[in-house]
Amino acid sequence: MSMLGESVRWLVFTAMCATVALAGEEQGTAVRKPVVMAAPHVAIPPAPQKLAGQRPVIRGGADAKRTWLGAEHRGLIVQRFSNKADGALAIELHFRQDHISIALNRAGGVAVARGGRRLEVMSVDAYERLQQLLAGSEAAFATRVLLAEREATSDLDAPEMTLLSTAAFVASLVGDLDAPRRLATRFVEKHRGIYRAVRYRTCFEQYAAESSAAWNDMQNCMDEANQDPSIFSRAYRRVACNAIWLIRSEAAWAEFLGCLGPGQFINQ
């Protein structure tokens, strides 16, 4: 890529960041202060058609204790690990000097760490403070750029669907609460007819069936959450729905890798 192209790309990225930056970051975690509840803000990533043409580099595999996936896209590094024993899922995002760690458990509990601060998202108040923790995060924004670029154009094979489900969940943490539902719906619409309920002929048919079941459970969870009259409580409950969906999606990924057999790794 020419220096001129790099310069233009940097200027475009900087301009986009300026338009979506949120309020300053949370100062410390030891003292809990009352917060003024504000409607969740959704940062709008660039239009997908302006970024088309570059696929993420994805690698993945499994051993006796865990499954993993790693990806790189336009300077963003995504790492995802799951523990087979307890179903816990860990996500690491790196972009330039920004680093975000996300931990999820099988029950849908979420904890997020950035810049030496850690927050467990266990209440409406914690969800509001999460917006402050992730405000101005380049890693979160780069993850949303990945999702905006690939969700409408990807073939949604198992490795890229696993990567994009991570990106969609991250997007839901910073305001785009419908990102997981939107991505999962597109997957189901694209792959609904390729599997058979009685016997799977391929590893991907099994993956598609499990992913579709996760989508169905998320639909029910979201419908219940949307009945909550409080906009803030509703947002918090939808994040919990998204977390459970991501855990179910990870289980589908683990089964896909197990179906491929020992020693088989994804490298695309």
Domain locations in the chain as residue ranges: 50-267
CA distance to 89, 125, 163, 165, per residue, from 78 (Å): 13, 28, 8, 12
Tell me the two tokens of residue 179. Answer: 């990102």
Q: Which range, of 46-50, 52-56, 203-207, 232-236, averages the lowest pLDDT?
A: 46-50
The reported pTM is 0.76
- Nearest one of 133, 134, 140, 130 to 96, comparing CA atoms: 140
- Rounded Cα–Cα distance for residues 125 and 232 (Å): 9
Mean pLDDT in residue range 155-180 = 93
Give pLDDT tens digits for 69-106. 999 999 999 999 999 888 899 999 999 999 999 999 98
**pLDDT at site 22:** 38
**pLDDT at site 41:** 47
**pLDDT at site 204:** 87
**Is pLDDT at 28 greater than 90 in this prediction?**
no
Q: Is 240 helix (H, G, I), strand (E, B) or coil?
A: helix
* pLDDT band at residue 53 using 50, 70 and 90 as cut-offs: low
Q: Which range, of 12-16, 175-179, 261-265, averages the lowest pLDDT?
A: 12-16
* pLDDT band at residue 264 using 50, 70 and 90 as cut-offs: low
Which residues, in sequence order, are CB contacts of 199 under 8 Å at separation 6+?
none
Edge to edge, the sheet with strand 66-73 lists: 117-121, 110-114, 98-104, 89-95, 76-83, 66-73, 57-62, 266-267
- Nearest one of 155, 226, 140, 139 to 191, comparing CA atoms: 155
